[in-house]
Amino acid sequence: MMRENRFKGFPFKVHSGSKNFFADFMKNFDDRHEHNVARKSNRMDWKPVVKINQIIPKRRQIKTLMGVKSLQMKDMVGRYWDLLEIARLVSWCMNRDYLIKTCLDHISKRLGKRARCCLMEGEELKLQCWVGRYKRPIEQVPICRESVVWGVVKKGVSLNLTRPHDSEGYRHTLGEKIKIKAVIPLWYVDLLTQEERRVGALIIDSGREGVPISAEEFEYLKVVGELMGAAVGKAKLVGQLEELYRTKEAMVRETAHAFRNRITVIGILSRRIAGLAKNTDLAHEARMLYREVQELQVRLGRFEKYIGL
């Protein structure tokens, strides 16, 4: 007598009186499996099971994507440390030129592009520092007033030129006529007047290669520009304080010298009067005046020593 059972979707027949149930089950299972394979192989839409050699390329793709993400993360961390280093320099360094050169070096190493800085000198905007290769020396070259750089400085808004026609209508300062570049205004807030002061611009480009600056790089450059502007403002404030100190010091020296001369004259006159008047009341008052003059000289000497004259 035969009976039909089901196991995981595969029907099989077993003799009810069979003593080797497992052997009958495996034989029917293998026959059914071969039948299914043969049936599926005749279908056009049947897809074979994914083999291990097909999985490996996908794993490699995932690993490549992870490598790209890790490189991007590494670049972001590098920019972050650049900004920390620049901020640290701004906090203690008073040398403006050294600060600007350090910032340009960071930009050039991080982005692989040329970088230059121009600052206001009176009514002119002149190139002060640069990193990268240029056809000719550009130190103290005045920026053309019809250039995009002057426009950015006047408006105080950063500009990223990623297409050649974006620079149409502007003149170029350098003979290379680079049209793909980013221009960042340098500014700071005056601590005395709380007014915004625009002092120059940061210019970045790839030279003749014409590689545009990405949005992420542009945001990085804007932060660097703010730090550079703060450095320029701090250096200017320190310069003003030093000039004020020198002026005050000169005034104090002149005043102390004038006081000493007058006191000396008064002391000489009081001694002469005391000698001429002899034992009269006038002589006594002259000696009292002379003692006061001596006391003034001592105090003036202490004052000069205190302020370092």
For every one of its 309 residues, what pLDDT tens digit does the chain have, with 9 covering 90 and above? 444 444 444 444 444 444 454 455 455 545 554 545 444 445 444 444 444 444 445 555 555 545 545 667 777 777 778 788 888 888 888 888 888 898 899 888 888 899 999 999 888 899 988 888 887 778 788 898 889 999 999 999 999 998 888 878 788 888 778 888 999 999 998 887 888 899 999 999 988 788 889 998 899 899 999 989 988 888 888 888 889 888 888 888 888 888 888 888 888 888 888 888 777 888 888 888 888 888 888 888 888 888 776
Q: Is residue 56 part of a domain?
A: no
My answer on whether 31 and 72 are in the same domain is no
* Cβ neighbourhood burial of 229 (10 Å; 0-12, 13-18, 19+): buried
Identity of the amino acid at 38? A
| Structural tokens at position 168 | 């149409």
Residue 285 lies inside a defined structural domain of this protein = yes
In the block, residue with structure tokens 């620049």: 86
Rounded Cα–Cα distance for residues 297 and 304 (Å): 11
Task: Give the number of domains in the chain.
Answer: 3
| Amino acid code (one letter) for 284 | H
The set of residues, in sequence order, having a beta carbon less than 8 Å from that of 164 and lying 6+ positions away, is 179, 180, 210
Q: Is residue 266 part of a domain?
A: yes
CA-based end-to-end distance of the chain:
127
Shared-domain flag, residues 28 and 87: no
Number of H helices, E strands in the chain: 6, 7
Give domain status of residue 49, yes or no: no
Say if residue 22 is in the same domain as residue 156. Answer: no
Q: Strand order in 159-161's β-sheet?
A: 124-131, 114-121, 196-205, 181-189, 159-161
Q: What range does the domain containing 267 cover?
A: 244-307
User: Both 124 and 189 in a single domain?
Assistant: yes
Are 205 and 262 within one domain? no
Task: Give the tokens for residue 234.
Answer: 């701090």
Half-sphere exposure of 179 (CA within 13 A, CB side): 9
* Whether residues 114 and 213 fall in one domain: yes
Q: Do the domain assignments include residue 52?
A: no
Q: Do 229 and 250 sit in the same domain of this protein? A: no
| Whether residue 215 is found in the same domain as residue 96 | yes
Look at residue 105 and give its three-state secondary structure.
Answer: helix
Same domain, 189 and 266: no
Whether residues 221 and 279 share a domain: the answer is: no
Q: Are 135 and 208 in contact (CB under 8 A)?
A: no
Judgement on whether residues 170 and 197 belong to the same structural domain of the protein = yes
What integer pLDDT is reported at residue 60 of this predicted model? 55
Cα–Cα dist 190/290, whole Å = 52
pLDDT score at 57: 52
| Chain mean position to CA 79 | 8
- Whose CA is closest to 277, among 265, 290, 264? 290
- 295 found inside a domain: yes
Give the per-residue pLDDT at 309.
Answer: 64
Shared domain for 226 and 106, answered yes or no, is: yes
Please report whether residue 149 resides in a domain.
Answer: yes
- CATH number of the CATH domain containing 68: 3.30.450.40
Query: Taking the model in full, what pTM does it have?
Result: 0.62
Q: Which of 221, 241, 261 is the last residue in one of the domains?
A: 241
**Any domain includes 46:** no
